[in-house]
């Protein structure tokens, strides 16, 4: 398989930045999963698609948009009615789904080469993300495993909460560099570290 190069390489500068005199409150990194797959069910086939997701990933998935699950190696979340994003550290996830999601159930789209995964973690992660998106990032409103689909200006983003103070953001590769720069700028006030 072709080795993917990070679109963030020219702007990803490891180390502490911003106002970090009293420590850092944000950790930024690129996660580089092996597979990012989008699944969409035809109307009335949502439950069958959810069953296929459970079969392939082993993750429990609540019905409906916004629900999700993660085990640290793979994640799945609904971002619209009958539409799901599935992420795995391993490559080949699209092929696994192609074997169980029949054309009568829905579609499988491999987005692995078209998306960049950015992780923001730390006690101020919710605060920094609230600068970009009109979403309630509080834990009760946005529980671990859940996902949201939104935009920041013209940059489409899918966000999954993968920990109490951690979010993974999936953006188009073509917008990744400008979004990364904006995220770094928004984190300067509280101090951030790039890993």
CATH of the domain at 185: 3.30.1360.120
Domain extent for 140: 15-32+114-194
pLDDT value of position 133: 93
Together in a domain, 182 and 148: yes
Q: What is the CATH number of the domain that holds 89?
A: 3.30.70.1520
Query: Average per-residue pLDDT in the chain?
Result: 91
Q: Is residue 57 part of a domain?
A: yes
Please say if the pLDDT value at position 190 is more than 60: yes
pLDDT at 80 over 90: no
Check pLDDT > 70 for residue 66.
no
Statement: residue 124 has pLDDT above 60: yes
Q: What is the pLDDT of residue 86?
A: 95
DSSP assignment letter at 190: G
CA-to-CA distance for 144 and 29, rounded, in angstroms? 19
Q: Pick from 136, 176, 181, 184: which is nearest to 36 by CA?
A: 176
Confidence band, pLDDT 50/70/90 cuts, at residue 65: low
The total of structural domains in the chain comes to 2
């Amino acid at each position: 398989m072709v080795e993917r190069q990070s679109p963030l390489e020219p702007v990803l500068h490891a180390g502490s930045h911003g106002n970090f005199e009293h420590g850092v409150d944000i950790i930024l990194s690129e996660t580089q999963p092996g597979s990012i797959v989008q699944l969409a069910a035809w109307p009335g086939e949502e439950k069958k698609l959810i069953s296929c997701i459970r079969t392939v990933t082993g993750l429990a998935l609540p019905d409906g948009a916004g629900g999700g699950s993660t085990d640290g190696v793979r994640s799945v979340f609904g971002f619209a009615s009958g539409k799901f994003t599935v992420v795995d550290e391993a490559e080949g996830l699209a092929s696994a789904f192609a074997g169980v999601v029949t054309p009568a159930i829905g579609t499988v789209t491999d987005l692995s080469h078209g998306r960049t995964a950015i992780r923001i973690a730390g006690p101020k992660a919710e605060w920094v993300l609230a600068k970009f998106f009109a979403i309630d990032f509080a834990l009760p409103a946005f529980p671990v495993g859940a996902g949201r689909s939104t935009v920041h200006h013209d940059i489409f983003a899918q966000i999954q909460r993968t920990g109490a103070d951690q979010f993974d953001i999936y953006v188009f590769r073509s917008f990744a560099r400008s979004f990364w720069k904006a995220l770094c700028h928004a984190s300067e006030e509280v101090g951030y570290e790039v890993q």
